[in-house]
């Protein structure tokens, strides 16, 4: 994989058309491309004039597209998580753990976690492609998804530390009185199911943290229009990326000339490259789609 490229921005500014345009451009250059939408409101099919499809589909030359089924991933994530927790904590059935876990899908943040794990899976499954292009949800949701690996890493590190202390304490008690510790409870780190599960979670978030911060592999582009609301949301995205030390490579001002009371963007985002993209109404052909990224494509790819 040469690069993974994320397109970020407010809803309706042209993230999807921009990601599709670059994907076609790369395919025309002979590159293998995986294009994915992790936005629950998909519209890749509409832009490329395809009927809705499930899974990965070869839509053009060596361009493979997928509109990730977030709802299905949420169900899968909840099912796998509840099964794992029920197995790990089966000795706690006396406190009706089943009922507690069965309502987990309604917990705040579950959709974000599901998308985070979907993102990891899709990247790992397409690591053989030259480029991975990701069309993302609007500002609020994508910033939460990007932040999850970083916040999760902090929590997991603390949980692992405390879990090891618990296991060591059990071991100390077992050395004094072996009958004082239930046989279901591990007294060695290598035997503890909870610690193993935390290790798996740790590897997942570390993979994403390293990927997002890898300036040689990961690139991000903010797509915006020339209006004040779009400008303010774009500034918010940049602040979030800066806080997480995720590179921002390009600001794409889309639909050039379409906004009547446009704002001054040139003085914003100091030090970040900017490019303008024309408004293309007809995306029925690859030639029309290619017009969108004509000016800025080469700034995001490494050949």
Q: What is the pTM of this model?
A: 0.87
Buried b (16+ CB within 10 A) or exposed e, 198-225: beebbebbeebbebbeeeebbbbbbbbb
Structural domain includes residue 275:
yes
The answer to whether position 205 is within a domain reads: yes
Range of the domain at 69: 3-151+200-299
Would the CA dihedral through 146, 148, 150, 151 be positive or negative? positive
CA distances from 156 to 8, 112, 152, 153, 187 (A): 28, 17, 6, 5, 20
Domain contains 85: yes
Decide if 18 is inside a domain.
Answer: yes
In a domain, 112, yes or no: yes
Is 211 within a domain? yes
CA distance 132 to 302: 12
Would you say the C-alpha torsion 225, 229, 231, 234 has a positive or negative sign? negative
Instruction: Provide the pLDDT for residue 104.
Output: 61
Q: Is residue 157 a part of any domain in this protein? A: no
- Interatomic CA distance for residues 294 and 277, integer angstroms: 8
CB 35 within 8 A of CB 23: yes
Residue 190 lies in a domain: no
Tell me the CATH number at 106. Answer: 3.40.50.300
Q: What is the dihedral of CA 10, 15, 16, 21, to 10 degrees?
A: 170
Residue among 269, 266, 289, 265 at smallest CA distance from 279: 289
Phi and psi angles of residue 233, each rounded to the nearest 5 degrees, phi first? -65, -40
Domain count, the chain: 1
Q: Residue-wise pLDDT tens for the chain (303 aa)?
A: 679 999 999 988 889 999 999 999 999 999 999 999 988 776 788 777 778 788 899 999 999 999 998 888 777 777 777 776 666 666 555 455 556 556 666 666 777 888 888 899 999 999 999 999 999 988 888 999 999 999 999 999 999 999 999 999 999 998 998 888 888 788 899 998 889 989 988 999 999 999 999 999 999 999 999 888 999 999 999 999 999 999 999 999 987 766 666 777 777 888 899 998 877 776 667 777 888 898 899 999 876
């Amino acid at each position: 994989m040469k690069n993974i490229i994320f397109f970020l921005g407010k809803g309706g500014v042209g993230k999807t058309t921009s990601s599709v345009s670059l994907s076609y451009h790369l395919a025309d250059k002979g590159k293998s491309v995986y294009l994915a939408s992790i936005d629950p409101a998909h519209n890749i099919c509409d832009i490329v004039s395809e009927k809705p499809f499930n899974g990965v589909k070869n839509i053009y030359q060596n361009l493979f597209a997928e509109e990730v089924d977030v709802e299905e991933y949420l169900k899968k994530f909840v099912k796998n998580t509840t099964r794992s927790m029920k197995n790990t904590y089966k000795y706690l059935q006396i406190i009706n753990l089943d009922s507690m876990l069965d309502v987990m899908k309604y917990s705040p943040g579950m959709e974000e976690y599901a998308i985070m794990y979907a993102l990891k899976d899709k990247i790992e499954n397409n690591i053989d492609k030259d480029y991975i292009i990701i069309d993302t949800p609007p500002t609020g949701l994508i910033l939460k998804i990007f932040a999850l690996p970083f916040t999760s890493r902090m929590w997991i590190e603390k949980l692992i530390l405390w879990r090891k202390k618990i296991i060591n304490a059990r071991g100390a008690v077992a050395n004094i009185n072996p009958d004082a510790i239930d046989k279901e409870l591990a007294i060695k780190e290598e035997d503890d199911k909870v610690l193993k599960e935390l290790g798996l979670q740790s590897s997942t978030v570390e993979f994403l943290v390293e990927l997002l911060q890898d300036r040689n592999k990961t690139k991000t582009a903010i797509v915006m229009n020339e209006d004040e609301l779009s400008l303010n949301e774009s500034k918010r995205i940049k602040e979030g990326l800066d806080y997480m030390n995720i590179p921002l490579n390009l600001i794409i001002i889309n639909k050039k000339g379409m906004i009547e009371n446009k704002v001054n963007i040139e003085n914003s985002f100091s030090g970040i490259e900017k490019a303008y993209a024309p408004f293309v109404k007809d995306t029925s052909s690859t030639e029309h789609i290619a017009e969108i990224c004509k000016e800025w494509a080469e700034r995001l790819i490494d050949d």
